[in-house]
Amino acid sequence: MTRSSSLITRTGPTRIGRIIRCLSFWVLALALATSSANAQDKNLLVVIVGPKTPLDQVSIKELRDLYLGNVTAIQGVSLKPVNFSANSQERLTFEKLVLLMTSDQFTEHWRTKRFLNTFQKQPSVFKSAQAVRSFVSDEPGTMGYIPLSDVDPTVRAVRKVDGHDLADKAYPLRINP
């Protein structure tokens, strides 16, 4: 055995070990980054509309006015709001960040509108993100909100809320902000 082949034999397993450790590190880093991105996707609420609805941005005030029945259109687009069931994490977050009220206050708001006969149709209510997404996809002129992780090609995500893109750290619709 020559000196060079002896050196390769002695360093070969060590080098392979280092390569395996390095690859393991990168696989772990990629897995952590992916799980972090998925966790972040679940923490973002995304306003959604039907695939043909021409709306790319919306303000918190426009959302509030629509969901409180003060308007029936945003930027000239007629819309019917879709809501989650009361006490769902998504709805509680939406009420806090957009409507600036609790579930009880929201319910009382609509009772008052009905009593005074000054209301538009109250938002439709669904129990899951899949149900909200399916309804918005199938029913033209509807708008809802779901976690980013539940968005699929059957609906369009409104890309900006209050001028902030989904990727912006200042994006205002975060669960557990």
CATH superfamily of 44-165: Periplasmic binding protein-like II (3.40.190.10)
The residue ranges of DSSP E strands in the chain, in sequence order, are 45-49, 57-58, 73-74, 77-78, 80-84, 124-126, 142-147, 156-157, 160-161, 164-165
Using pLDDT thresholds of 50, 70 and 90, give the confidence band for residue 78. Answer: very high
- The structure's pTM equals 0.73
Q: Residue 60 pLDDT > 70, yes or no? A: yes
Q: CA quadruple 53, 132, 87, 166: dihedral positive or negative?
A: negative
Q: Model confidence over 93-147: pLDDT tens digits? A: 999 999 999 888 888 878 887 777 765 677 888 999 999 999 999 999 999 999 9
Between 15 and 99, the more confident residue is 99
Give the pLDDT confidence score for residue 49 in this predicted structure: 97
CA angle 133, 123, 132 (to 5 degrees): 10
Note the pLDDT tens digit of each residue in 28-52.
Answer: 333 333 333 444 566 899 999 999 9
| Residue scoring higher pLDDT (177 or 27) | 177
User: Where in the chain are the domains?
Assistant: 1-43, 44-165
Residue with tokens 């080098």: 15
Give the CA radius of gyration of the chain: 25
- Cα separation of 13 and 21, whole Å? 12
